[in-house]
């Protein structure tokens, strides 16, 4: 939606909220800034009809009626009692959940929106529970993929993007998908949809999407099948994800969590053991090994080494800044 149209909608809401009586379409055209730019009566009618639909889609209660029995033309207004939010109250556990959810976002677009939401809740008198120091929940950073795909799902539009398969390595391939929904599982975002190129339902890891997805076609062209279990589809995909094997060097007596997942452990005489660890994604593997610091070194595959080294360099650069 353009900035001019957004401003016009805001002006329309303010006008209808301020009016105690029903305002006819012609009166609205005279007093609401933005409608004076419509070049003809037909253009105004089309713009006003679109704006009314937008307000209803946003959940704004637009009333239609007349001020007296002698009025031939109906008017419009927004009742303040219907528009205003009821008092917000949260139980302590609910407030903690809201604060926890808001702090999970790491992408710039969603992070700023979450911060604004917290400020509004605090301004309304909601006392949010402070998180203990060091508790920093997060979901993976998905760059431009999440907002673009979320918009495509909301608008029901076809989407195309480049996608890396397997363990997140190799050359990306172009995918054309009817997006049905986004699901977060174990801190990872997934898109569930119908892959037109493969004529089947597919699940896509957002961290493997390369660049910015592009929505095409008209809005409303894509609809989610009734009864579709998005969470179940992602769980099945996650369980059956194709695996690879990483070779790790782990200091003796350390990395107990990795040792439990390893398929093979070879004890070394130099104080370091060699582990073979199955994994399905290089980014997730990096999440597993980095908390162990200098006690774990990734040896193979080269793509996993590159991801871990890149993470360490980014941390070093952040610490030096």
Cα angle, residue 301 at apex, residues 296 and 304 outer, rounded to 5°: 65
Asked if 308 and 286 touch (Cβ cutoff 8 Å), the reply is yes
The secondary structure of residue 157, as a DSSP letter, is: -
Q: Taking the alpha carbons of 285, 290, 296, 300 in that order, is the dihedral positive or negative?
A: positive
pTM equals 0.50
The 10 Å CB-count burial string (b at 16+, else e) for 16-30 is beebeebbbbebbbe
In tens digits, the chain (321 residues) has pLDDT values of: 567 888 888 899 889 988 889 999 999 999 998 888 888 989 999 999 999 988 887 778 888 998 888 888 889 998 877 776 667 777 777 777 777 666 665 554 555 666 666 666 666 666 666 555 444 555 555 567 888 899 999 999 999 999 987 554 557 889 999 999 998 887 678 999 999 988 999 999 887 888 899 999 998 999 999 888 999 988 887 776 656 889 999 999 999 989 998 999 999 889 999 999 988 777 778 888 988 989 999 999 888 898 889 888 888 887 776
At the topology level, CATH places domain 145-239 in SH3 type barrels. (2.30.30)
Laid out side by side, the sheet with 62-65 consists of 23-24, 75-78, 62-65
Peptide bond into 301 cis (omega under 30): yes
The C-alpha atoms of residue 54 and residue 239 are separated, in whole angstroms, by 41
| Tokens read off for 218 | 């008209």
Domain ranges for the chain, please list them.
3-83, 87-137, 145-239, 244-320
CA distances from 300 to 94, 165, 306, 307 (A): 44, 19, 10, 11
How high is the pLDDT of residue 89? 76
Pick the CATH number of 3-83 from 1.25.40.10, 1.10.10.10, 1.10.260.40, 1.10.3720.10: 1.10.10.10
Question: How many C-beta atoms lie closer than 10 Å to residue 72's C-beta?
Answer: 6
How high is the pLDDT of residue 103? 62
Q: Is 82 exposed, middle or buried (0-12, 13-18, 19+ CB in 10 A)?
A: exposed
How high is the pLDDT of residue 149? 92
Tell me how far apart the 2 most distant CA atoms of the chain are, in Å. 99
Cα angle, residue 223 at apex, residues 201 and 159 outer, rounded to 5°: 65
Q: What do you get for the CA distance between the two ends of the chain, in Å?
A: 38
């Amino acid at each position: 939606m353009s900035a001019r149209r957004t401003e016009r909608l805001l002006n329309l809401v303010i006008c209808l909220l301020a009016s105690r009586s029903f305002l006819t379409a012609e009166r609205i055209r005279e007093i609401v800034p933005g409608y004076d730019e419509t070049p003809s009566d037909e253009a105004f009618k089309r713009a006003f009809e679109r704006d009314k639909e937008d307000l209803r889609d946003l959940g704004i209660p637009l009333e239609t009626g007349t001020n007296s029995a002698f009025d031939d033309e109906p008017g419009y207004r927004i009742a303040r009692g219907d528009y205003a939010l009821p008092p917000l109250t949260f139980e302590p556990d609910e407030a903690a959940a809201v604060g926890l959810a808001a702090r999970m976002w790491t992408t710039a677009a969603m992070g700023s929106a979450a911060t604004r939401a917290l400020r509004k809740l605090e301004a309304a008198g909601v006392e949010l529970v402070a998180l203990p120091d060091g508790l920093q929940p997060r979901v993976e950073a998905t760059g431009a993929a999440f907002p673009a795909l979320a918009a495509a799902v909301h608008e029901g539009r076809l989407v195309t993007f480049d996608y890396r398969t397997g363990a997140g390595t190799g050359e990306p391939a172009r995918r054309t998908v009817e997006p049905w929904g986004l699901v977060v599982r174990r801190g990872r975002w997934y898109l569930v949809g119908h892959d037109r190129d493969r004529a089947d339902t597919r699940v896509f890891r957002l961290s493997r999407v390369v660049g910015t997805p592009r929505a095409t076609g008209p809005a409303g062209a894509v609809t989610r099948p009734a009864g579709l279990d998005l969470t179940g589809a992602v769980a099945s995909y996650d369980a059956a994800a194709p695996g690879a094997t990483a070779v790790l060097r782990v200091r003796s007596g350390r990395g107990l969590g990795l040792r439990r997942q390893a398929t093979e452990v070879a004890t070394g005489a130099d104080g370091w053991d060699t582990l073979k660890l199955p994994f399905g994604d290089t980014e997730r593997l990096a999440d597993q090994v980095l908390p162990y610091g200098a006690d774990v070194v990734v040896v193979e595959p080269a793509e996993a080494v590159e991801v871990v080294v890149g993470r360490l360099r980014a941390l070093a650069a952040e610490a030096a800044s």
